[in-house]
């Protein structure tokens, strides 16, 4: 190891480059959880929040990217004596170049090890285009990790060596006291997550279940549009926009939910599904991306096609109207959750850092 101080648990010092909340997107939450575990273990962590380099700017895209490159490289250079490993989190957007490039360049120039963690359910579509030419960039890292077997298989098919380590996802334990007919969504209010489909499904289900409600945790650019949709569909009194919740508040919402809905159009390994599994909540989800690798239809969840509000309403009706199905899905969800055990994931991260 380099001159950076070692901890009592022999963990190297880490420069963690990632977006951090707010908002509470999956990559941000995963990176924050990893940082918290590192600090709790006594590791030295230099945190570089990439959201601070992505604020609205009057400059052109090219100028912004150069500025971002310089800012990240500069932060790594100025802290060069305070870390051994550069760990950068990226996803399926062109901005990944603006984050990975300076991280790799700085790590190589300063003799540091580098780990790249790739998130994002849109990897296949992203790398099928011009971005495919950037795959060799990942090979510059000492190790590439992904949070799911789904992404691991994809990068294997592209010839990129990788290691699957789940996100460290956990919530405070809260006893389950489900409110009858209370549905829950926990996503950013953005078109890709299709919250409108959940609201449309609720409107259909409400014709059969007069007490059904939908709680929506999270915020985002679509909030006003979704509120207007609920009003048009006549379900304003049934839809509750909770805003962004902290971990303790979110744990209480899972405990109150009769079932959890994941209506997204693109996904990899959504933290919200892991949380719902850990809390033993029955799940209705679209069958996109890596979700079918996480959940088994009619075992621990009901899976429906993306964008199909009627199919989603049918699945919700099945769970609400059939206590046996509801109990089975909840019981099996807790079993499936053992694969995503946060302590096991954290031990894998410790081993990786020590190997580097």
- Range name among 89-103, 233-247, 276-290, 323-337 with the lowest pLDDT average: 89-103
What is the pLDDT at residue 2? 39
Place 62 in a pLDDT band, splitting at 50, 70 and 90. Answer: low
What is the pLDDT at residue 5? 41
DSSP for 212-230, written as a single string: -EEEEEB--TTHHHHHHHH
Question: Which DSSP state fits 58?
Answer: S
Nearest to 204 by CA among 315, 59, 340, 63: 315
pLDDT digit string, tens, across residues 108-128: 999 999 999 999 888 888 888
- Range name among 122-131, 146-155, 260-269 with the lowest pLDDT average: 122-131
Checking if the pLDDT of 347 tops 60, the result is yes
Pairing state of beta strands 113-118 and 85-90? parallel
User: What tokens does 53 get?
Assistant: 């380099």
What is the pLDDT at residue 4? 43
Scan for tokens 């790590």, then name that residue.
Answer: 107
pLDDT digit string, tens, across residues 176-193: 999 999 999 999 999 999
Share of the chain above pLDDT 90, in %: 77
Place 8 in a pLDDT band, splitting at 50, 70 and 90. Answer: very low
* Domains, the chain: 14-165 (3.40.50.2000), 182-340 (3.40.50.2000)
CA distance 151 to 160: 11
pLDDT digit string, tens, across residues 326-345: 999 999 999 999 989 999 99
Place 95 in a pLDDT band, splitting at 50, 70 and 90. Answer: low
Contacts of 339 (CB under 8 A, 6+ apart): 166
pLDDT digit string, tens, across residues 23-56: 677 888 899 999 999 999 999 999 999 876 554 4
Q: What is the pTM of this model?
A: 0.88
Mean pLDDT of 298-320: 98
Mean pLDDT of 190-214: 97
Mean pLDDT of 208-232: 97
DSSP for 239-275, written as a single string: EEEEE---HHHHHHHHHH-SEEEE--SS-SS-HHHHH
Indicate the SS3 state at residue 28.
helix
């Amino acid at each position: 190891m380099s001159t950076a101080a070692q901890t009592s648990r022999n963990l190297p010092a880490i420069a963690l480059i990632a977006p951090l909340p707010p908002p509470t997107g999956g990559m941000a939450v995963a990176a924050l959880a990893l940082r918290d575990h590192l600090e709790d273990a006594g590791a030295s962590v230099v945190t570089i929040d990439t959201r601070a380099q992505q604020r609205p700017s009057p400059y052109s895209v090219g100028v912004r990217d150069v500025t971002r490159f310089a800012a990240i490289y500069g932060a790594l250079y100025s802290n060069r004596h305070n870390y051994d490993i550069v760990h950068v989190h990226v996803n399926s957007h062109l901005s990944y170049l603006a984050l990975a490039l300076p991280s790799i360049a700085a790590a190589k120039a300063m003799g540091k090890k580098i780990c790249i963690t790739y998130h994002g359910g849109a990897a296949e579509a992203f790398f099928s285009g011009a971005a495919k030419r950037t795959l060799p960039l990942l090979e510059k890292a000492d190790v590439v990790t992904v949070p799911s077997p789904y992404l691991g298989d994809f990068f294997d098919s592209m010839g990129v060596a990788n290691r699957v380590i789940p996100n460290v996802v956990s919530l405070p334990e809260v006893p389950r006291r489900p409110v009858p007919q209370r549905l829950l969504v926990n996503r950013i209010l953005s078109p890709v997550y299709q919250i409108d489909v959940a609201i449309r499904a609720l409107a259909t289900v409400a014709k059969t279940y007069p007490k059904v409600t939908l709680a929506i945790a999270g915020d985002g650019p679509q909030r006003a549009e979704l509120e207007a949709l609920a009003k048009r569909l006549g379900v304003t009194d049934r839809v509750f926009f909770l805003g962004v919740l902290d971990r303790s508040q979110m744990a209480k919402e899972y405990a109150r939910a009769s079932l959890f809905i994941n209506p997204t159009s693109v996904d990899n390994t959504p933290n919200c599904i892991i949380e719902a599994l850990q809390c033993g909540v029955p799940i209705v989800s679209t069958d996109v991306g890596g979700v079918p690798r996480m959940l088994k239809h009619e075992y621990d969840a009901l899976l429906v096609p993306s964008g199909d509000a009627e199919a989603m309403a049918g699945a919700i009706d099945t769970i609400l109207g059939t206590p046996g199905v509801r109990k089975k899905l909840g019981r099996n969800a807790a079993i499936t959750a053992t694969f995503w055990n946060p302590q096991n994931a954290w031990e894998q991260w410790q081993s990786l850092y020590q190997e580097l």
